Amino acid sequence: MKNREVSSKPPIAGDLETMAHQALQSSPYRDIRRVHCEVREGVLTLQGQVSSFYHKQIAQEHLQSKFAGCALDNRLVVSDD
């Protein structure tokens, strides 16, 4: 029986972006499903436009709960429409 090593390495940037995008796709809110995620220098950045401060906060909290310990920069813009 072979010993399996468990990797404690954090996910690479592309993996983190994909996982964050997939997490947002599970939201019941269309605005949140349209949010763009990008990872640069270890920071997960949310970009795009949402219709309320509530959606902006929900998107941030959703990712913070799934990616604890990851720096998050919420650059979502709340539209005036």
State the pLDDT at residue 20: 93
Q: Indicate the domain borders of the chain.
A: 13-78
**Which DSSP symbol is given to 50?**
E
State the pLDDT at residue 22: 93
Sign for the pseudo-dihedral over CA of 70, 24, 48, 55: negative
Per DSSP, helices labelled H in 1-81 are: 13-25, 30-33, 53-66
The residues that bridge with 36 in the sheet, in sequence order, are: 47
In this prediction, residue 81 has a pLDDT band, given cuts at 50, 70 and 90, of low
Query: Is domain 13-78 classified as CATH 3.30.420.40?
Result: no
pLDDT digits (tens, 9 = 90+) for 23-74: 999 999 999 999 999 988 889 999 999 999 999 999 999 999 888 888 999 9
The label of the residue with tokens 């809110």 reads 29
In this prediction, residue 3 has a pLDDT band, given cuts at 50, 70 and 90, of low
